[in-house]
């Protein structure tokens, strides 16, 4: 240990440790007489981080420390422990007020130093650390009332802290209130002899329990009303500050409920009623059941009219609260009570209601088939739902098309009607098939298909089962045709397998069909043929997200071959590979409105992280101009930095709303995008055509697919490009072209937008 005078001997680059300061390196040594000025030059030290995390205590000048020590000794001799404790309390309040007022750090440090000195003095006098006084009273003389008062104070203090946290108050204020809460709990433990718990000091008398339960029920009602009020505000899109105020009130009520009951409030939480009310609750049960039914109908109407989700959720919560109340009163779930057997009059009413429901259902289907206005259909649907609800309240069960009240009677007329509808379905099906074979207009075929579906629905309502072609109805055209006779025999064998003992027929069944090959023809049914080729050829597997597909090894190996070949071609011209993030900020994506115009409906946004909303939504790249060019503006400073030729192999997401097609139009796809910066337009145009030739070679040389090279029109070109060149393929089955690849000349559109400039002397 050396004193400060030894600093005059420290040489440049020496590393020393100063007590309570840390490590330092000498940048300039002390000089008594400078060779430049002739004056004394002080030593210059630079602090060196040594990895410690504990804050170094500040040093106290020696003279001040001695004075403080002398004062402390004098005070310890003159002041008693109680006086020191009082001074500590006052000094603590002073420190807290300084922190609350955000005073200067040196002022706070000085006050804290005084506080620590007082505490050290207290320890010297008493031999123990100072703790805040708890105003203890002898435990034997404490009455239950005083402990109850303390418990209520603790509850109030806890509510106050929760309110502050909800309001996001300053941390120092919350810490102050927490200290008060801990002091109250310590005082409670001193008086009672055990730690305070939320259920501690619960009143034991019956009257107190009943009043507490009633108070809890009142608080629960207030919470429900406050929750409904907040939902209404959110539905009306009220200002956020208004909603926040109401939320704070709701949280305060929930805290009050928890303090009263000792448990968190949950929707439907009600106090247990005396068992005597269960015997006389039948009238109330009926009214509650009617309310539940009406609320259910209201929710169904909202869903039918496609109301906003928050409105429906609010009504569902009311329905659940009603059901909870019903269960509390009756002791069983709503709808699970035993249903009394219906009387004869009830059967008649239910049967007439069932007929009304069926008729109303037919009316709704007719309106939909005739493409009536939506508001007209909605009105009839509401009527239908009301009839179904009435049917359920009458019979105690949901209405179904095959639901009957009594046992079905023998109705030969019904059988003939079934056969009549079946014949109409068969005739209509033949009509649809003939129209498809003759390649009639699609709208005409759709009309006939709707008629066919309506007939099948009528058949299902009549019989209670889906319609299927009657077995063995297809008879051979000519009785003398040997082949037809053989088919008829085979059909009979399939219908009557085996003989009487069932052994022979059980062994010989119809021949197994593998369906491994193509079943559709490219010429007659291109969509089915294409789907079978890519699935049975093990190129694609469908995925549960629409527009996204799994690339199986066969198809991915083709992609790898194309990628490797193109990558080699690019690198031979000086292009280098890189990778940029797939997420794009809203500010970057919307920087150029005309560029994003083509993609704005297709941009996919990330709006949530877990269950919480993100502060700002992030887009998933539809293309990478807005991702790459801000970096280009940093990297390109001089003509020596040009040309900058970068390429990345990545995936992009475009949330297509059209009908997706594997390999042709998907929501996520693999691709390559190269972005090159040139000094002159001539160099840029030459590379555009060079890259286009490379794309054409991929199709013609690698895939044996002929293409036509050309230039897009102004309407079809890329929105941010000066012009766009393309290679187009031809789909002969439909007689249409398909874009195979594009190469763009962006001109100076993006360089001006992102301020990509360079110096050229």
Q: What is the pLDDT of residues 332-384, one digit of tens each?
A: 777 654 444 445 455 557 777 788 888 888 888 878 877 778 878 888 888 88
Within-domain flag for 498: no
**Band of residue 404 on the pLDDT scale cut at 50, 70, 90:** very low
Q: What percent of the chain has pLDDT over 90?
A: 22
Q: Write the CATH number for 242.
A: 1.10.287.10
Q: Tokens in use for 490?
A: 């085979």
| 150 three-state secondary structure | helix
**CA 292/CA 654 separation, integer angstroms:** 45
| 17 three-state secondary structure | strand
User: Does 548 share its domain with 693?
Assistant: yes
Q: Please give the pLDDT value at position 600.
A: 64
Q: Please give the pLDDT value at position 327.
A: 77
Given a cut of 50, whether residue 504 has pLDDT beyond it is: no
Q: Please give the pLDDT value at position 406.
A: 45
473-498 mean pLDDT: 46
Q: Are 251 and 243 in contact (CB under 8 A)?
A: no
User: Does 121 share its domain with 86?
Assistant: yes
Q: Where are the alpha helices (DSSP H) in 473-525?
A: 482-495, 503-507
Work out the number of other CB atoms within 10 angstroms of the CB of residue 26: 18
**Band of residue 236 on the pLDDT scale cut at 50, 70, 90:** confident
The better pLDDT of the pair 490, 289 is held by 289
Question: Which range among 220-234, 399-413, 550-564 has the greatest average pLDDT?
Answer: 550-564
Q: Please give the pLDDT value at position 635.
A: 96
**CA 472/CA 217 separation, integer angstroms:** 70
Q: Write the CATH number for 534.
A: 3.30.930.10
**Band of residue 176 on the pLDDT scale cut at 50, 70, 90:** confident
User: Does 170 share its domain with 240?
Assistant: no
Q: Please give the pLDDT value at position 729.
A: 95
Q: What percent of the chain has pLDDT over 70?
A: 78
User: Does 180 share its domain with 259?
Assistant: no
Work out the number of other CB atoms within 10 angstroms of the CB of residue 544: 5
Work out the number of other CB atoms within 10 angstroms of the CB of residue 453: 14
Q: Tokens in use for 736?
A: 């249409």
Within-domain flag for 115: yes
Q: Please give the pLDDT value at position 347.
A: 58
Within-domain flag for 74: no
| 492 three-state secondary structure | helix
Within-domain flag for 740: yes
CA 478 to chain centre: 66
Within-domain flag for 26: yes
Q: Write the CATH number for 379.
A: 1.10.287
Q: Please give the pLDDT value at position 405.
A: 46
User: Does 638 share its domain with 697?
Assistant: yes
Query: Could you give the angle at which helices 681-697 and 553-572 cross, rounded to 10 degrees?
Result: 150
Within-domain flag for 613: no
User: Does 702 share its domain with 644?
Assistant: yes
Q: Please give the pLDDT value at position 284.
A: 58
Lowest-confidence pick of 98-112, 495-509, 627-641: 495-509
Cα–Cα distances in Å, from 316 out to 228, 309, 311, 321, 749? 12, 10, 9, 9, 53
Given a cut of 50, whether residue 244 has pLDDT beyond it is: yes
User: Does 561 share its domain with 454?
Assistant: no
Given a cut of 50, whether residue 174 has pLDDT beyond it is: yes
User: Does 459 share its domain with 542?
Assistant: no
Q: Please give the pLDDT value at position 316.
A: 87
User: Does 553 share its domain with 655?
Assistant: yes
Strands (DSSP E) contained in 586-667 are 604-609, 612-620, 644-653
User: Does 562 share its domain with 679?
Assistant: yes
**CA 363/CA 359 separation, integer angstroms:** 6
Rounded to a whole number of angstroms, the CA Rg of the chain reads 43
**CA 466/CA 422 separation, integer angstroms:** 11
282-297 mean pLDDT: 73
Q: Please give the pLDDT value at position 52.
A: 64
Q: What is the average pLDDT value for the chain, to the nearest integer?
A: 78
Could you list the residue range(s) of the whole structural domain that residue 452 is in?
A: 432-463
Q: Please give the pLDDT value at position 136.
A: 43
Q: What is the pLDDT of residues 38-78, one digit of tens each?
A: 788 888 898 888 766 555 555 444 544 455 555 555 444 44
518-538 mean pLDDT: 90
Q: Please give the pLDDT value at position 726.
A: 97
The better pLDDT of the pair 400, 670 is held by 670
User: Does 570 share its domain with 638?
Assistant: yes
Q: Please give the pLDDT value at position 390.
A: 82
Given a cut of 80, whether residue 550 has pLDDT beyond it is: yes
Given a cut of 50, whether residue 278 has pLDDT beyond it is: no
Q: Are 254 and 264 in contact (CB under 8 A)?
A: yes
Q: Tokens in use for 440?
A: 């009639």
Lowest-confidence pick of 287-296, 403-412, 686-695, 720-729: 403-412
DSSP 338: P
**CA 146/CA 137 separation, integer angstroms:** 11
Q: Please give the pLDDT value at position 273.
A: 44
Within-domain flag for 296: yes
Nearest by Cα to 33 from 41, 42, 24: 41
The better pLDDT of the pair 549, 657 is held by 549
**CA 281/CA 604 separation, integer angstroms:** 55
User: Does 563 share its domain with 709?
Assistant: yes
Largest CA distance in the chain: 136
Nearest by Cα to 750 from 630, 621, 597: 630
**Band of residue 676 on the pLDDT scale cut at 50, 70, 90:** very high
Q: Tokens in use for 145?
A: 């009332």
Question: Which range among 15-19, 399-403, 582-586 has the greatest average pLDDT?
Answer: 582-586
Given a cut of 70, whether residue 106 has pLDDT beyond it is: yes
Within-domain flag for 575: yes
The better pLDDT of the pair 152, 709 is held by 709
Looking at the 3D structure of the chain, how many domains does it have?
A: 8
């Amino acid at each position: 240990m050396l004193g400060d005078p030894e600093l005059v001997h420290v040489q440049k680059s020496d590393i020393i440790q100063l007590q309570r300061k840390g490590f330092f390196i000498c940048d300039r040594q002390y000089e008594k007489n400078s060779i430049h000025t002739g004056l004394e030059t002080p030593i210059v030290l630079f602090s060196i981080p040594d990895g410690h995390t504990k804050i170094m205590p500040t040093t106290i000048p020696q003279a001040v420390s001695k004075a403080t020590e002398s004062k402390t000794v004098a005070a310890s001799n003159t002041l008693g422990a109680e006086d020191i404790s009082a001074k500590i309390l006052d000094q603590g309040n002073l420190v807290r007020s300084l922190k609350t007022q955000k005073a200067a750090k040196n002022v706070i440090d000085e006050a804290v130093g005084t506080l620590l000195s007082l505490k050290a003095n207290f320890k010297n006098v008493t031999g123990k650390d100072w703790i805040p006084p708890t105003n203890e009273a002898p435990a034997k003389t404490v009455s239950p009332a005083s402990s109850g008062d303390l418990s209520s104070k603790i509850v109030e203090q806890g509510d106050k802290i929760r309110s502050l946290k909800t309001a996001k108050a300053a941390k120092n204020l919350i810490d102050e209130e927490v200290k008060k809460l801990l002091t109250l709990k310590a005082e409670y433990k001193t008086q009672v002899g055990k730690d305070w718990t939320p259920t501690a000091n619960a009143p034991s008398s019956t009257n107190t329990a009943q009043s507490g339960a009633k108070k809890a029920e009142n608080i629960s009602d207030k919470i429900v009303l406050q929750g409904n009020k907040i939902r209404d505000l959110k539905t009306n899109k009220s200002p956020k500050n208004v909603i926040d105020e109401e939320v704070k009130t709701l949280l305060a009520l929930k805290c009050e409920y928890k303090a009263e009951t000792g448990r968190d409030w949950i929707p439907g939480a009600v106090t247990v009623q005396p068992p005597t009310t269960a015997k006389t609750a039948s009238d109330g049960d009926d009214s509650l059941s009617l309310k539940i039914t009406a609320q259910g109908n209201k929710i169904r109407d909202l869903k039918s009219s496609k109301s906003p989700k928050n409105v429906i959720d609010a009504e569902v919560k009311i329905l659940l609260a009603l059901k909870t109340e019903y269960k509390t009163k009756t002791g069983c779930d709503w709808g699970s009570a035993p249903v009394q057997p219906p009387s004869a009059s009830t059967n008649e009413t239910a049967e007439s209601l069932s007929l009304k429901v069926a008729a109303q259902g037919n009316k709704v289907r007719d309106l939909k088939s005739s493409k009536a206005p939506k508001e007209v259909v909605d009105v009839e649907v509401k009527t239908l739902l009301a009839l179904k609800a009435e049917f359920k309240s009458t019979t105690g069960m949901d209405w179904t098309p095959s639901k009957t009240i009594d046992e079905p009677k023998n109705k030969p007329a019904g059988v003939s009607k079934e056969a009549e509808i079946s014949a109409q379905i068969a005739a209509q099906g033949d009509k649809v098939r003939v129209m498809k074979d003759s390649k009639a207009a699609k709208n005409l075929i759709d009309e006939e298909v709707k008629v066919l579906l309506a007939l099948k629905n009528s058949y299902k309502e009549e019989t209670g089962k889906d319609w299927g072609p009657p077995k063995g109805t297809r008879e051979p055209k000519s009785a003398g045709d040997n082949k037809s006779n053989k088919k008829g025999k085979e059909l009979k064998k399939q219908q009557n397998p085996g003989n009487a003992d069932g052994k022979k027929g059980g062994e010989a069944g119809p021949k197994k069909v593998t369906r491994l090959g193509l079943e559709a023809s490219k010429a007659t049914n291109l969509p089915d043929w294409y789907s079978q080729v890519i699935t049975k050829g093990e190129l694609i597997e469908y995925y549960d997200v629409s527009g996204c597909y799994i690339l199986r090894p066969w198809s991915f190996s083709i992609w790898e071959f194309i990628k490797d070949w193109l990558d080699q071609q690019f690198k031979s011209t000086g292009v280098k590979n890189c990778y940029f993030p797939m997420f794009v900020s809203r500010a970057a994506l919307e920087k150029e409105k005309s560029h994003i115009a083509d993609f704005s409906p297709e941009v996919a946004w990330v709006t949530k992280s877990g269950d919480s909303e993100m502060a700002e939504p992030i887009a998933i790249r539809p293309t990478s101009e807005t991702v790459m060019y801000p970096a280009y503006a940093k990297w390109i400073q001089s003509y020596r930095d040009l040309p900058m030729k970068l390429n990345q192999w990545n995936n992009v997401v475009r949330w297509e709303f059209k009908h997706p097609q594997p390999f042709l139009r998907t929501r996520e796809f693999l691709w390559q995008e190269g972005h090159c910066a040139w000094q002159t337009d001539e160099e840029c145009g030459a590379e555009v055509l060079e890259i286009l030739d490379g794309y054409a070679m991929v199709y013609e040389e690698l895939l044996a697919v002929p293409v036509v090279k050309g230039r897009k029109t102004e309407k079809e070109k890329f929105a941010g490009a000066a012009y766009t060149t393309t290679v187009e393929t031809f789909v002969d089955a439909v007689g249409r072209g398909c874009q195979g690849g594009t190469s763009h000349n962006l001109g100076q559109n993006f360089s001006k937008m992102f301020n990509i400039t360079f110096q050229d002397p």
